[in-house]
Amino acid sequence: EVQLVQSRAEVKKPGESLKISCKGSGYSFRHYWIAWVRQTPGKGLEWMGIIYPGDSDTRYSPSFQGQVTISADESISTAHLQWSSLKASDTAMYYCARLSYFVTVTSPFDPWGQGTLVTVSS
């Protein structure tokens, strides 16, 4: 079974750093793009960026470029999303999702991880 399992919920203070993870199993991790998606009550689902674990080719949505860093460690089949300095506005649910077609970036997202809730509050 293809599965993505995300790290647990986090509560952080503004200015702190954070790295959350997404571990893939049941498929060849290096050959499928992984996406990160933010969900907030006000803005719905927002695509943040994608990474190809095989060569770490990474593409960011213009809205998130410079705000977050996406990385992947093929050796442990895990992708990461990190912030160097969190803001209250980063409070949201974050999902990882696999782009469902082998290698290609023109692909729907399937499956999705269970989500990681990030709360940033002083």
Question: Which C-beta is closer to another protein: that of 17 or that of 119?
Answer: 119
Per CB under 8 A, residues contacting another protein are 35, 37, 44-47, 50, 59, 61-62, 95, 97, 99-100, 105-115
Distance of alpha carbon 119 from the chain centroid: 16
CA-CA distance, 102 to 95, in Å (whole number)?
Answer: 20
CB of 113 to another protein, least distance (A): 7
CA-CA distance, 80 to 102, in Å (whole number)?
Answer: 20
Per the structure block, which two tokens stand in for 70?
Answer: 């996406």
CB of 18 to another protein, least distance (A): 20
Question: Which C-beta is closer to another protein: that of 83 or that of 94?
Answer: 94
